[in-house]
């Protein structure tokens, strides 16, 4: 049995709550009765759509060690193990605050318009050889995700890596004050959530709220090339931060050159004026920026960045953010293969262009499928929360330099129709209203030798398109498959494609 994360007495003292039932403590914390582990504290959060109190009985039946509630729910036994508080979200925040106070971990917090989760996952990997790392799951970066991550932190963690997101101004500051980071990193400021802001400059100010809780003597890691760098720097200096910059211009972690290959990225950089080369085990120029940002944060946390960078050669992006799959067609891949880039979790103009650049750098294979020439195919869903200019921003992707290497673009959603209409006829694939219809289109369109990329905002539901392509054959992670081209005898790599769709 693992050690207790929270004893009942500790949890009650942290929250000011009332203990009910007989229970010693809990080994973890969960807000989902479907995925909790035995011994977890189930937190009955109350949201607009559902009330977690309705699932307390189910959670206890599944083995929850106790439940954090504001009242005893109907159907829960009188002797059930409970911690009763006035407000369960406030109770979770109180646990988070106490967990942070009792921890000696170096805390790193990440925000930005693009690259938050990717950079957070890089940091998790970079720090792992140097101590026990506690990091946010998935994109737990909002008003409940940050306190949940902190409340789950074991007292003996050496490092904590948090992701902090926002949709509106004023959301990051209280989460930063809760986290009290030693290192605060902004990956980028770009056109995301414009529906809630008057300008990108306002987005920059909202991202700069991450410095609100910076510990005394803390470090701000900033994108030196960003158009709004001056605003970020001013906010960081006002918070008393030491500055570390990354980018192509004047920066301590300076990017000199990037070589993007089909399955990796080589980064030529300078650290403190000294030349430095390292490799990332996945393709993407944007990954070079994320990596430099992460390495700057690692140095600020007291770790040698040159030693940490060795991990990046084996690093792979998480699901939905550039994860790569090889889909073998036919028995043992005899009918060739399809390569898939899963970028389905979220999207804005900057991240779509980055994903298109990765797709454009991928080799295709000719002469192994129904279509004579292999193709680079993009399946794109709506980019959400872009405000009044959303249609223009969608249409503008047709003129993006990264679009030139793409052979076919299939679109779904009312906003993405603007891009579909702006594309030249030779690139224009299908347009459909819903992602389920696009998934069906993918089943009938994709062929051996093709490379596909799927991207859209979370609300566009592009997951079914990813699953449809994976279901064409045996899907294996590209790194485990060696990321080779088709394993079919006679298959060969090719350059620019031109087949029909």
Mind giving me the DSSP string for 125-143?
A: HHHGGGS-EEE--TT--ST
CB 286 within 8 A of CB 252: no
pTM across the whole model: 0.83
φ, ψ for residue 54, nearest 5 deg: -70, -15
User: Would you call 399 helix, strand, or coil by DSSP?
Assistant: helix
List strand residue ranges (DSSP E) for 64-187, in order. 66-69, 82-84, 106-111, 133-135, 159-163, 183-186
pLDDT for res 499: 33
Which residues fall within 8 angstroms of residue 122, CB to CB, at 6 or more apart?
Answer: 290, 291, 294, 312, 315
φ, ψ for residue 378, nearest 5 deg: -105, 130
pLDDT for res 481: 67
The candidate with the shortest Cα–Cα distance to 262, out of 236, 241, 281, 288, is 281
* Rounded to 5°, angle at Cα 171 from 167 and 176: 130
φ, ψ for residue 225, nearest 5 deg: -90, -5
d(CA 11, CA 5): 10
Exposed, middle or buried: residue 294 (CB in 10 Å: 0-12, 13-18, 19+)?
buried
d(CA 239, CA 417): 44
* Rounded to 5°, angle at Cα 275 from 272 and 277: 120
- Per-residue tokens: 461: 């539901």
CB 366 within 8 A of CB 375: no
Which residue has 């603007």 as its token pair? 418
User: Would you call 386 helix, strand, or coil by DSSP?
Assistant: coil
- Per-residue tokens: 59: 């959670």
CB 226 within 8 A of CB 188: yes
Which residue has 């279509």 as its token pair? 371
pLDDT for res 483: 44
pLDDT for res 489: 30
d(CA 393, CA 415): 9
What are the pLDDT digits (tens) for 253-280?
999 999 988 889 999 999 878 899 999 9
- Other residues' Cβ atoms within 10 Å of the Cβ of residue 440: 15
Which residue has 């006002």 as its token pair? 238
CB 47 within 8 A of CB 72: no
pLDDT for res 9: 97
pLDDT for res 306: 94
What are the pLDDT digits (tens) for 480-491?
666 443 333 333
Q: Output the CA–CA distances (angstroms, integers) from residue 220 to 125, 161, 235, 242, 350, in the order listed.
A: 20, 14, 10, 6, 23
Q: Output the CA–CA distances (angstroms, integers) from residue 143 to 69, 200, 418, 496, in the order listed.
A: 18, 23, 34, 45
Sign of CA dihedral 451, 456, 459, 460: negative
Stretches in the chain below the pLDDT threshold 50: 1, 483-501
Exposed, middle or buried: residue 261 (CB in 10 Å: 0-12, 13-18, 19+)?
middle
């Amino acid at each position: 049995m693992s050690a207790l994360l929270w004893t009942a007495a500790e949890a009650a003292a942290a929250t000011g709550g009332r203990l009910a039932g007989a229970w010693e403590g809990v080994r973890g914390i969960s807000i989902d009765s479907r995925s909790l582990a035995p011994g977890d504290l189930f937190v009955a959060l109350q949201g607009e759509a559902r009330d977690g109190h309705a699932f307390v009985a189910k959670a206890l039946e599944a083995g929850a060690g106790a439940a954090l509630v504001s009242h005893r729910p109907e159907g829960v036994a009188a002797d059930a193990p409970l911690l009763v508080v006035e407000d369960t979200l406030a109770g979770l925040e109180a646990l988070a605050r106490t967990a942070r106070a009792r921890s000696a971990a170096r805390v790193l917090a990440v925000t930005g318009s693009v690259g938050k989760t990717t950079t957070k996952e890089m940091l998790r990997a970079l720090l792992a050889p140097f101590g026990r790392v506690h990091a946010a799951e998935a994109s737990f970066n909002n008003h409940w995700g940050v306190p949940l991550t902190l409340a789950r932190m074991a007292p003996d963690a050496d490092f904590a890596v948090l992701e902090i997101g926002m949709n509106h101004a004023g959301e990051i500051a209280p989460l930063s004050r809760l986290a009290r980071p030693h290192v605060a990193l902004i990956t980028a400021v770009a056109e995301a959530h414009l529906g809630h802001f008057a300008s990108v400059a306002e987005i920059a100010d909202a991202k700069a709220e991450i410095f609100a809780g910076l510990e005394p003597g803390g470090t701000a890691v900033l994108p030196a090339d960003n158009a709004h760098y001056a605003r970020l720097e001013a906010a960081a200096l006002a918070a008393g931060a030491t500055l570390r910059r990354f980018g192509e211009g004047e920066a301590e972690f300076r990017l000199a050159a990037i070589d993007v290959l089909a399955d990796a990225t080589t980064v030529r950089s300078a650290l403190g004026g000294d030349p430095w080369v390292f490799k990332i085990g996945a393709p993407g120029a944007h990954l070079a920026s994320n990596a430099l940002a992460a390495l700057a944060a690692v140095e600020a946390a007291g770790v040698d960045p040159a030693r940490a960078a060795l991990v990046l050669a084996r690093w792979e992006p998480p699901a939905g953010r550039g994860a790569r799959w090889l889909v073998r067609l036919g028995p043992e891949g005899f009918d060739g293969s399809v390569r898939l880039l899963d970028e389905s979790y979220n999207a804005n103009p900057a991240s779509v262009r980055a994903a298109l650049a990765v797709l454009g750098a991928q080799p295709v294979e000719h002469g192994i499928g129904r279509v004579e020439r292999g193709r680079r195919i993009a399946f794109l869903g709506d980019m959400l929360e872009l405000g009044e200019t959303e249609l223009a921003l969608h249409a503008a992707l047709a003129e993006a330099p990264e679009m030139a290497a793409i052979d076919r673009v299939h679109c779904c959603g009312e906003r993405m129709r603007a891009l579909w209409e702006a594309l030249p006829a030779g690139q224009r694939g299908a347009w459909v209203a819903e992602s389920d219809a696009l998934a069906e289109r993918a089943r009938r369109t994709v062929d051996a030798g093709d490379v596909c990329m799927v991207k859209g905002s979370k609300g566009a539901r592009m997951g079914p398109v990813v699953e449809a392509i994976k279901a064409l054959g045996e899907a294996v992670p590209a790194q485990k498959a060696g990321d080779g081209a088709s394993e079919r005898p006679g298959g060969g790599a090719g350059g620019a494609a031109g087949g029909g769709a």
